[in-house]
A and B are shown apart, each in its own frame.
Chain A
Amino acid sequence: MLRPALLAAALTAAFPVHADPQLDALRAELQELKTAYEARIQALEARLQKTEAQTAKAPVKAEPAPVRSSFNPDISLILQGKYAHLEDRADRGITGFLPSGAEGPSRGFSVDESELVLSASIDPWFRGYLNAVLADGEVGVEEAWFQTTSLGHGLSVKGGRFRSGIGYQNEQHPHAWDFATNSQVYDALFGEGYGQDGLQMKWLAPTDIFLEFGAEAGRGGAFPSTERDSNGFPSLALFGHVGDDVGTSHSWRAGLSYLHTRPQERAFEGRDLGDVDVAGGFSGKSRTWLADFVWKWAPNGNATQQNFKFAAEYFQRRESGALSCDDAGVDASLCTGGITGPYSADQSGFYAQGVYQFIPHWRAGYRYEQLFRGDVVFNGVDAGATLASLADYDPRRHSLMLDYSPSEFSRLRLQYSRDEAQQDIDESQFYVQYIHSLGSHGAHKF
């Protein structure tokens, strides 16, 4: 239809002469061709429409699209590493706080732990999840749990090893963090995050507003708790979350959590006032309150172009019991001969961060972290009178980051931090980080 018409038009344009019998004959021939062509096309179209109508009426036997590609578990692997430009410092402990045992970043290029995640439905009643971290010469089980899917009434029970539901960042693994380094608050509280070996029960209220309550009982093998050879559940956690939308562009979640543990001979290393290494242990009670708030914005709820995320957490920790202290090496310290005395600490802190995706794939963020050393009393006097590592000092840190994510599966990040975690230290830190995920599409929590 189109071509003869075009041809005719082209011919008319090519021979703008008035009358020519030969041209007229050609035109007539073309016209004839065009009419025949159009008739044939019309017939074909009619036939096509008829067939289409028939197929539309006939019940379509659609082959069921596989919801899951196979029975194999969803597998994903996270590759991450960074280059860190840091000052040469003997230790990176946080002044005023007993160390959680978290390792600070290495200088230069380092490959961070690779995370291997497997998850699937176990049967109609349970699902299972494994998160293993691979590092040189070791495999760590970060999480290995089952969760019920069939209890209904908003109830679910999780059992095994899992990240505790307390706080906001706690359930996130490092690849989901918005910054290249852990927040100082978590460094002081739990290390990377608090894991439970035990049971978790959650109940979601039947309300239109999100209202969730959870309780956990665990063995408490990690800081601020310790391994202990006993029956029962020395680590207890309670948490509640509430959240909703405001219009289509805003959503938020707030939470309040409580963790109670009973550490026994929880080892620590520090320095006395003369800068001599000391070591010892804490036994007693450790109680932590955490309040968290997350707010996300995306125009019309469409986060593809632009979005903003604000997150903040505040904690208060009270510890009371007995602290022992002795020389860590051959040098004589203020603890020489070994001291054991009553210890109590009432400490707090917070972080607040904002991350803004200003154009697709690019995000910029700022985080401020501030710890308050509070009252730390050892043997009846301020702990700073004996231990320099528990001196009365409020640590803080500023971080700025810029990241670029070519796709949902890859991310490159630059970060600058001004670290004042240790008394008399003011360090500029630079990080370049990559995070890549392979395999199945992991859905992230809010």
Chain B
Amino acid sequence: MKTSLFKIPFLHRLVGLLGAAILVPGAAHAALKVFACEPEWGSLAKEIGGPQVSVYTATTAMQDPHRIEARPSLIARARNADLLVCTGAELEIGWLPVILAESGNAAIQTGQPGQFMAAQYVPLLDKPAVLDRSAGDVHAAGNPHIQTDPHNIARVGAALARRMAELDPAQAARYQARWKDFSTRWQAAITRWEQQAAPLRGMPVVVQHKGFPYLESWLGLRQVAVLEPKPGVDPSVGHLARVAAQLQATPARAVLRAAYQSPRPADWLAQRSGIPALALPFTVGGNARAGDLFGLFDDTIDQLLKAAP
């Protein structure tokens, strides 16, 4: 009797320990494991979580977030995540569903608190009036490239800090404190960027892909042409020539593209019409200066200012 009473709790403890060792390795080091679909959300989660979280970023600034392979490594990382932070608004529709289905992770499935979609906390622009594939790769919910407006980063950050606190209540106070600190620095930076960017208001620009509506609306840039004839459709030489002709009537100051996009269309137009082609970082890691969220906007504004009148 005595031995069995002793044995059962011991066994329980052993099984529990083994289970913990197998199922959550490294649980002692990082409380919250974050799987970020894009670098901007990975950076934001690091700012809020600090040493309390470990962040895995699924894609880099050199990759097209629309077209990512559902690689085995992504499935393995999603398997162990406590929190999935993605853009949503169908940006990841070509690969995230496979990752979710194959991950065997109940916590990050749709509708669970472990799934955080940034686009839900931001008013979306460019909602298509007509949903038809003949219009190219349109997103029904609106344009998903929300990270190019720092106000959106702030909106998403506030919601993300709340979500992280909800998932990891033991560290809630630390998340809130870190968020408050970040938010203060961020608001100051926004004020600085907006002052610097005053000459950009009304500046006419051409974009390669409709990836900058939030940046344009924030800084008051005027988009006069798009190089892609339809979203996701590569521009033909004929189409580029038409854009070049159009620019003679309505001149632009610069042609913008994201770092991951092919430089050829933008460079071709730049050469043809004598305006600079700017490779904006688009997200964290898009170039050497854009090492974090602050660097991302520092570099974006500086590049644009060089093209300003």
Min CB gap B283→A, angstroms: 13
Contacts of A409 in B (CB 8 A): 133
B190 contacts A by Cβ under 8 Å: yes
Determine whether the beta carbon of B110 is less than 8 Å from that of A204: no
Contacts of B142 in A (CB 8 A): 65
Determine whether the beta carbon of B72 is less than 8 Å from that of A303: no
The contact size tier of chain B is 35 or more
A121-B110, A149-B109 are known contacts. Are A301 and B59 too (CB-CB below 8 A)?
A: yes
Stretch at the interface among B40-48, B88-96, B270-278, B293-301: B88-96
- Our pick among B22, B64, B120 for the contact of A64 (Cβ within 8 Å) is B120
Which A residue sits closest to B93, measured CB to CB? A441
What separation, in Å, do the CA atoms of A244 and B63 have in the docked complex?
A: 18
Determine whether the beta carbon of B71 is less than 8 Å from that of A446: yes
Which B residue sits closest to A207, measured CB to CB? B76
Contacts of A127 in B (CB 8 A): 101
A window 60-106: CB within 8 A of B: 60, 62-69
B window 34-60: CB within 8 A of A: 59-60
Stretch at the interface among B7-15, B121-129, B171-179, B221-229: B121-129
Contacts of A150 in B (CB 8 A): 106, 109
What separation, in Å, do the CA atoms of A443 and B67 have in the docked complex?
A: 10
Min CB gap A158→B, angstroms: 10
Determine whether the beta carbon of B70 is less than 8 Å from that of A151: no
What separation, in Å, do the CA atoms of A66 and B201 have in the docked complex?
A: 32
Contacts of B234 in A (CB 8 A): 360-361
Secondary structure of the B contact surface, majority rule: loop
Which B residue sits closest to A153, measured CB to CB? B23
A156 contacts B by Cβ under 8 Å: yes
A398 contacts B by Cβ under 8 Å: no
Determine whether the beta carbon of B123 is less than 8 Å from that of A445: no
Determine whether the beta carbon of A152 is less than 8 Å from that of B24: no
What separation, in Å, do the CA atoms of A206 and B18 have in the docked complex?
A: 13
A234 contacts B by Cβ under 8 Å: no
Stretch at the interface among A208-216, A283-291, A338-346, A415-423: A208-216
B169 contacts A by Cβ under 8 Å: no
- Our pick among B70, B95, B123, B190 for the contact of A62 (Cβ within 8 Å) is B123
Min CB gap A42→B, angstroms: 11
- Our pick among A62, A202, A251, A408 for the contact of B71 (Cβ within 8 Å) is A251
A253 contacts B by Cβ under 8 Å: yes
Determine whether the beta carbon of B190 is less than 8 Å from that of A243: no
A407 contacts B by Cβ under 8 Å: yes
What separation, in Å, do the CA atoms of A244 and B133 have in the docked complex?
A: 34
B266 contacts A by Cβ under 8 Å: no
What separation, in Å, do the CA atoms of A275 and B70 have in the docked complex?
A: 50
Determine whether the beta carbon of B63 is less than 8 Å from that of A204: no
Determine whether the beta carbon of B72 is less than 8 Å from that of A210: yes
B102 contacts A by Cβ under 8 Å: yes
Determine whether the beta carbon of B94 is less than 8 Å from that of A408: yes
A56-B151, A65-B89, A408-B94 are known contacts. Are A300 and B76 too (CB-CB below 8 A)?
A: no
Which B residue sits closest to A438, measured CB to CB? B133
Determine whether the beta carbon of B60 is less than 8 Å from that of A303: no
What separation, in Å, do the CA atoms of A205 and B104 have in the docked complex?
A: 10
B137 contacts A by Cβ under 8 Å: yes
B77 contacts A by Cβ under 8 Å: yes
Contacts of B141 in A (CB 8 A): 65-66
B287 contacts A by Cβ under 8 Å: no
Determine whether the beta carbon of B73 is less than 8 Å from that of A245: yes
Which B residue sits closest to A64, measured CB to CB? B120
A62-B122, A301-B60, A301-B63 are known contacts. Are A67 and B117 too (CB-CB below 8 A)?
A: yes
Contacts of A367 in B (CB 8 A): none
Which A residue sits closest to B156, measured CB to CB? A62
Determine whether the beta carbon of A154 is less than 8 Å from that of B93: no
Contacts of A66 in B (CB 8 A): 140-141
Which A residue sits closest to B201, measured CB to CB? A45
Contacts of A124 in B (CB 8 A): 109, 111
B-facing mask of A389-408, CB < 8 A → 1, else 0? Answer: 00000000000000000011
Min CB gap A212→B, angstroms: 8
Determine whether the beta carbon of A49 is less than 8 Å from that of B93: no
What separation, in Å, do the CA atoms of A300 and B261 have in the docked complex?
A: 12
What separation, in Å, do the CA atoms of A69 and B123 have in the docked complex?
A: 17
Which B residue sits closest to A244, measured CB to CB? B73
A336 contacts B by Cβ under 8 Å: no
Min CB gap B239→A, angstroms: 14
B182 contacts A by Cβ under 8 Å: no
A305 contacts B by Cβ under 8 Å: yes
Determine whether the beta carbon of A149 is less than 8 Å from that of B122: no
A302 contacts B by Cβ under 8 Å: yes
Contacts of A208 in B (CB 8 A): 73, 76-77, 80
Contacts of B233 in A (CB 8 A): 407
A203 contacts B by Cβ under 8 Å: yes
Min CB gap B251→A, angstroms: 11
A-facing mask of B17-31, CB < 8 A → 1, else 0? Answer: 000001111000000
Determine whether the beta carbon of B72 is less than 8 Å from that of A151: no
Min CB gap B174→A, angstroms: 23
A248 contacts B by Cβ under 8 Å: yes
A296 contacts B by Cβ under 8 Å: yes
Determine whether the beta carbon of A149 is less than 8 Å from that of B88: no
What separation, in Å, do the CA atoms of A303 and B73 have in the docked complex?
A: 16
Contacts of A45 in B (CB 8 A): 201
Determine whether the beta carbon of A300 is less than 8 Å from that of B101: no
A60-B122, A62-B120, A301-B62 are known contacts. Are A253 and B104 too (CB-CB below 8 A)?
A: no
B16 contacts A by Cβ under 8 Å: no
Determine whether the beta carbon of B98 is less than 8 Å from that of A444: yes
B79 contacts A by Cβ under 8 Å: yes
Q: Which residues of A contact B (CB under 8 A)?
A: 45, 49, 56, 60, 62-69, 121, 124, 127, 147, 149-156, 202-211, 241-245, 248, 251-253, 296, 298, 300-305, 360-361, 407-409, 438, 441, 443-446
If A66-B140, A443-B98 are given as contacts, then 19 extra A-B residue pairs at C-beta distance below 8 Å, sorted by A number, are A56-B154, A62-B122, A63-B123, A65-B117, A65-B124, A65-B142, A67-B110, A124-B109, A150-B106, A206-B25, A208-B77, A243-B72, A244-B72, A296-B71, A300-B63, A301-B63, A360-B234, A444-B94, A446-B98
The 7 closest A-B pairs by CB, nearest first: A243-B72, A210-B72, A152-B106, A154-B104, A210-B76, A300-B62, A65-B141
5 examples of A-B residue contacts, CB within 8 angstroms = A211-B76, A300-B60, A300-B63, A304-B64, A444-B70
